[in-house]
Amino acid sequence: MIPFRFIHAADLHLDSPFAGMSSVPDRLREHLQQSTFAALNHLVELAIAEQPDFIVISGDVYDASDSSLRAQLRLREAWELLGRHGIPVYVIHGNHDPLNAGRLRLAHPEHVTVFGPAAESVTALRRSDGEPVAVITGISYPTSAVTENTSLQFRRDPSCSLFHIGLLHANVDGQEGHDAYSPCSLRDLQQSGYDYWALGHIHKRQILHEAPWIVYPGNPQGRSLKETGPKGCYVVDVNGHGEARLSFRALDTVRWQEAELSIEGLANEEQLRDLAEELLEELREQASGRVQIVRLVLSGRGPLHAMLQTGTEGEELIQELRRKESRRLEGEAPGLGPSAPVVWPAGLKVRTGADLDPEAMRQEDSFLGELLRMADLAEREEELLEQIMGSALAAVSEDRRLRMLVRELGTEDQKALVRQAAEMAVSLLAEQETKGGAQR
Ligand SMILES: [Mn+2]
């Protein structure tokens, strides 16, 4: 085999609207709305710097099937720039940008290969000498919902010794939180004989298997607090033995993240606000030019827990932090670049506990002790978890839509709910006990 290099990206979702961000200042919103295009530019810059033999993009290039003219023009600009540098691109379409979409069809330049609705294969060449280095097979979504296992169409020609790359937009092993399109199993992919499955669809970066490589690069730009952490693509180097080495490269200009803050030892709201401000400043120092959108996660046990249960205190804290950040933003020169890395407090999650000693309570031969032990058990035994969820939600089970919503909850979500319910019950009941005791 001949060594070569390629870049694997997916789910660009160009021109995502960021519709849910009504509370952010206009300048920040504009920056957000440009962020999917900025990630595309970073991808092109990376390719020009790294000189891969080709790029593969595994679906959902556009966010919407009626993709804007703006998105199409920006994509064409990117294609042209790559073309000028002699870098070919191989693309499939996914559920967000299927082939039957009513969008304007700008013709693709010759160095961009777009795969059709049935699996087809092409041979990729090394740019330096035109030697064949890889077989690339791809398949695009003809419509927005593909429910058959299209991975079965990928068949390796056993007489061909070239490195085989499969481009597929699919949900492998039914991952939660994404439509079960093009459903297939890890086993299907392993048994196909392909060396590298360049997947798209799931936005969380993950390497499901090595050699054969089964890889989701994730989307190159996070779009909500559900898509946290560094986002980018993989640069893949294949050596003369057909062994691949992957290197992740961040492409995002806006980073979504959660930041944890413990209320332990805090006596009042002022202390909490001061600590939250300190945390945001720490994040600002680590920004390296990126805008950060942050959800504070309050954790730990302390006297502030009860106050945070009403919801209003937490909301006021966030409003206060936002006011401060907005003022800072207005005072800055235009542009949200390296000189003024914005850290926007987007939300608050309260995971705190009452100022109790649950460890001691767990040992108690009391109702509260029993309650805590049962919640612990539900974390380990799914049968008990189901039973608790079933009886707690019996009242709403008559409603079909509510029933469906409940069914969509993953096991982890259910465990978190039971944990939260136990915590709430214990702190309310413990409070009652204290009050009762005082009266007596
Ligand atoms: Mn997608």
Which residue ranges form the domains of the chain, and what is each CATH number? 4-250 (3.60.21.10), 254-355 (no CATH), 358-440 (no CATH)
Dist. CA 345 → ligand 1 center (Å)? 26
CA-atom Rg of the chain in angstroms: 26
How far is ligand 1, taken at its centre, from the CA of residue 63, in Å? 8
96 CA distance to ligand 1 centroid (A)? 7
CA of 91 to the centre of ligand 1 (A): 14
Q: Can you give the pTM of this predicted structure?
A: 0.86
**269-285 and 312-331 helices cross at what angle (nearest 10)?**
40
- Asked whether 47 and 82 are in contact (CB, 8 A), the reply is yes
Question: Ligand 1 center to residue 137 CA distance, Å?
Answer: 20
Question: How many Å lie between the centroid of ligand 1 and the Cα of residue 13?
Answer: 7
Separation CA 343–CA 215 (nearest Å): 31
Cβ atoms of 245 and 196 within 8 Å: the answer is: no
Q: How many helices (H) and strands (E) does the chain have?
A: 11, 15
Ligand 1 center–CA 202 separation, angstroms: 6
Cis geometry, peptide bond prior to residue 212 (ω within 30 degrees of 0): yes
Q: How far is the CA of 206 from the centre of ligand 1 (A)?
A: 14
265 CA from centroid of ligand 1 (Å): 43
- Residue 338 is predicted with a pLDDT of 44
Compute, in angstroms, the gap from residue 11 CA to the centroid of ligand 1. 5
Ligand 1 centroid, distance to 184 Cα (angstroms): 17
pLDDT given at position 178: 81
How far is ligand 1, taken at its centre, from the CA of residue 140, in Å?
13
Smallest CA-to-CA distance from 217 within 36, 410, 15, 59 is with 59
232-238 and 244-250 beta bridge pairing? antiparallel
342-359: pLDDT as tens digits: 999 999 999 898 888 888
How many Å lie between the centroid of ligand 1 and the Cα of residue 233? 14
Burial 55-91 (b: 16+ CB within 10 A, else e): bbbbbbbbbbbebbeebbebbeebbeebeeeebbbbb
pLDDT for the residue numbered 437: 47
Cα of 200 from ligand 1 centre, angstroms = 7
Centroid of ligand 1 to alpha carbon of 170 (angstroms) = 10
For the chain, give the mean pLDDT: 90
60 CA to centre of ligand 1 in angstroms: 5
Whole-number Å distance, alpha carbon 204 to ligand 1 midpoint, is: 10
Task: Output the CA 416–ligand 1 centroid distance in Å.
Answer: 26
- Give 216 Cα–ligand 1 centroid separation in angstroms: 11
Residues of the chain with pLDDT under 50: 338, 437-440
